[in-house]
Amino acid sequence: MEATSKCTRYRKGDLSLTNTSMHGFYALKTIPNNPNGEAKVTCRVCKAECHCLMPSRTNSHSCSACLNVSNSTLRPHKKECGICRPVKKIGTKLFKLGDLGSSNKNGNLLSGSLYPSMPSSSALPSTSRYNKRAVLCGVSYRRRKFRLKGTINDVSNMKDLMMKKFKFPEECIRVLTEQEQNANMIPTKHNILESLRWLVKDCQPGDSLVFYFSGHGLQQPDFEEDEIDGFDETLCPVDFLREGMIIDNEINSTIVWPLKKGVTLHAIVDACHSGTILDLLFVYKHESGIWEDNKPPSKEPIRKHTNGGLAICLSACEDSQTAADSAVFGGKGMNGVLTYLFTKTIREYPGITYGRLLENMHDEIKKINRSRCNSRILQHIFNRKIAQDPLLSSSEKFDVSTTMFRL
């Protein structure tokens, strides 16, 4: 058995902010320079090491293994390596890290150019008109040190649930993973956004739409002043180092705005910092049992609502938390904690309400943590407890204790 936070080697993203500078990027641990002029750098978080040749005009460096950024006192050099690269400016460039432009020993590019964006969706499978459509996206970042091991299992689990439990026709489910043969189905930024546009295109009353994502999630400063906590939540496509992340504002405008009256969208997001990834107007607080206002604080009105439809999001954790992959559930391989508990609960409790679904997942996480504390074996397996609280948000308030969960 194995369990890892999605913000360590297999965690789903950690560029998390603290009360100090820029979400508290962890410092890189440096080792004295070698006689040949190279400096060996070890990241304090992911322990990745490299011989790093640093340019003279910067003392900020990012670890592409775990995405942590900090200052370093390394002696300046002329070149840079593929793991610890210079960060010249705090801001947008910090999060859109750019093309590394290097390759490994096998000649595989280390940048997002492994997965070139496709110019159009003409090669996508054609689908008939159904009142149920879904986009299932699992990103494993398989050629990188921050790869995830459970995302393919997550997508398979979700697809099986939707077809057998909620009767989604297979031809109306669009799956994006790095294992797909069709290049249009690789989870690049372009392909994900194209699929989201397909999901809501020409939606009609009675439609049930689903967006599922399993992968890394991050945060970045909110420059539009439309976030209560001052940070935008993001999803990381497979090519995010080159093309950038998908920001919550863009997700909101792409799949929330177009929802007509009578159309329901469910988003299930198994990623770190994913609490308000859809930027919906209301957040349900599990502890108090009330809906809290999540309207943007900016003076100028910023659109966050639907066109009359209903959008509901179930996230792996709150914006400030991280999500975990785990093998503690048994079976083959690893699974996202949210995905496994969600699918397990839906299968075991037909007609479950939103409130009971959320309660059961919280209870299961508590049981896992209690078991870890009582077992020496599990103490050895787990570096720390699973510290994530699944979160429910919605475009409008509803009674979670009486409303049944349906897709």
Torsion of CA 200, 190, 314, 164, to 10 degrees: 70
Rounded Cα distance, 167 and 362, in Å: 27
Query: Is-contact 84 46, C-beta < 8 A?
Result: no
CA dist 65 and 83 (Å) reads: 6
User: From the centroid of its chain, how far is CA 33?
Assistant: 36
Q: Two tokens at 55?
A: 């340019």
**Two tokens, residue 246:** 């998908």
Give yes or no: 63 in active site.
no
Give the number of other CB atoms < 10 A from CB of residue 127.
13
Close Cβ partners of 350 (under 8 Å, ≥ 6 residues apart): none
Is 61 assigned a catalytic role?
Answer: no
Cβ-Cβ contacts under 8 Å for 59 (sequence gap 6 or more): 71, 72, 73, 74
**Among 52, 81, 272, 317, the one annotated catalytic:** 272
Please state, in angstroms and as integers, the Cα–Cα distance from residue 244 to each residue in 99, 238, 256, 264, following that order: 10, 10, 21, 29
Distances (CA, A) of 119 to 30, 44, 124, 198, 322: 43, 40, 12, 15, 34
Residue 51 neighbours by CB distance under 10 Å: 16
Burial of 406 (0-12, 13-18, 19+ CB in 10 A): exposed
User: CA-to-CA distance for 167 and 349, rounded, in angstroms?
Assistant: 17
Of 23, 61, 216, 266, catalytic: 216
The secondary element (H helix, E strand) that includes residue 199 is helix 189-200
10: nearest Cα among 380, 337, 234, 372: 337
Which H/E stretch holds residue 377?
A: helix 376-381
Q: Determine whether 184 is exposed, middle or buried from the number of CB atoms within 10 Å of its CB (0-12, 13-18, 19+).
A: buried
The DSSP symbol for 109 reads B
Sheet hosting strand 69-71, strand order edge to edge: 69-71, 60-63, 84-86
Residues belonging to the active site: 216, 272
